[in-house]
Structure 1
């Protein structure tokens, strides 16, 4: 698959099925593929958002959208100080199968025996088909919005995914968008979506760091409190 075809069609399931199939053929053994960076680069951002101690009445719900074959979700599951249910969701059943097979062969032991890790084939523009409103504590998006915004026909899907994320998040929850897009551009997009759909509350931006000459950012988006 050539680079230009990948970028133009990053909103399509067939693109990612092909990508993960080809990636799997190249390597003799499974290897996680990380967009941008891995867990260690952002653990200082993620872990402080998790409860420091067990919640007695429920498990903290985390959704990793467009997970691909990244180790991000499994690492959150492993290192979380409290019980979590981490759902790693991707539109490609091939990516999901590869992750399921890898975890089956190399089980991860979390800090909490009550923690759960699952891999699910899911179109993340249709989150309300899988979740009730106000049911998720934390959504992690490492490059998925970027992929949609940069693809030829993906901008509408990016808007739809943002709206659904804001709906399924708890009022105390947050969406973390990890991106290499400059704040001037990403904040303008988020503000435009807020005006058009009324779905975005507060946005906090922080620089994650520089890797291979590229500066990455985290956009922490809190949902609007609906009356």
Structure 2
């Protein structure tokens, strides 16, 4: 993954990258124990979250308009699958001027505990305040291949996947395919699934179009961020 290689070279993250590089190079990115170890790494209080690819600031202009498209729920429900310790959920919650109901899920209990602590004001931080008084945020442990314990069918209007499908695919395409089917199951009929990835459209688009035949699949180029061009693959239901 180009984004992973670039992240490991980025000067502000060199110390952390050196600690992670061996595990990332030799381990399966679908292995929960790997992520538990990575999320347990100490971090300065001034950097409470960590983002692969890019953070909320880079894509807020892209995300916020999607929350207003054909809303059938107020606030719209947003699911971040494989949220890790990313600032994507917290950015939406604290900065969206519109009400949002955000759920971040990850199979790593270490990541979930870290984000819930951050939300409540632990780790030397102030409790997070919503950008809109009607907004809500929580984090729960869940496996992206089986979201039934936390997500009924058709219950989310926007589903975010920032590199999670890419990581699951490193463990085998059957698992990645099951994850996509789960994402489609929990998405509302008019909802939108966004897969953020650095994978080329020539590879990703045919797979998504074949699997998501009842929905519209498009791609939008993002960045470059840190010298890398990313793609947002959008899977949309009927308007």
Please, what TM-score do these two structures have when normalized by structure 2?
0.82
In the TM superposition, structure 1's runs of 4+ consecutive aligned residues that sit over 6 Å from their partners are 52-55
What is the alpha-carbon distance in structure 2 between the residues aligned to residue 52 and residue 111 of structure 1? 19
- Is contact 1:141–1:178 with CA below 8 Å preserved after alignment? yes
Aligned equivalent of 2:33, options 8, 14, 17: 14
Query: Structure 1 residues 166, 64: closer, same or farther in 2, change over 3 A?
Result: same
Q: Which residue of 2 aligns with 1:183?
A: 201
Q: Could you say which residue in structure 2 is the equivalent of 1:214? A: 228
Output the CA distance in 2 between the equivalents of 1:54 and 1:173. Answer: 9
- Any conservation in 1 of the 2:75–2:101 contact (CA below 8 Å)? yes
Structure 2 residue runs of 5 or longer lacking an equivalent are 1-18
Q: 2-side partners of 1:146 and 1:168: how far apart?
A: 19
Q: How does 1:72-151 map to 2 (within 5 A)?
A: 72-105=88-121, 106-149=126-169, 151=170
Shift of residue 5 of structure 1? 4.2
Contact 1:52–1:82 under 8 Å retained in 2: no
Asked whether the 8 Å contact 2:102–2:138 carries over to 1, the reply is: yes
Residues 166 and 54 (structure 1 numbering): CA distance in 2 closer, same or farther, change over 3 Å?
closer
For 1:12 and 1:224, the matched residues in 2 are separated by 35
CA positional deviation for 1:13? 1.1
CA–CA separation in structure 2 for the residues paired with 1:156 and 1:114: 39
User: Any idea what SS the aligned residue of 1:70 has?
Assistant: coil
> How far is 1:223 from its partner?
4.3
Q: Which residue is 1:45 aligned to?
A: 62
Q: Give the distance between the partners of 1:54 and 1:157, measured in 2 at CA.
A: 31
Of residues 52, 55, 59 in structure 2, which corresponds to 1:35?
52
2:20–2:38 CA contact under 8 A, matched in 1 = no
- TM (norm. structure 1) is 0.86
Counterpart in the other structure of 1:70: 86
Q: Structure 2 CA distance, aligned partners of 1:59 and 1:143?
A: 26
Tell me how far 1:89 sits from its aligned partner: 0.7
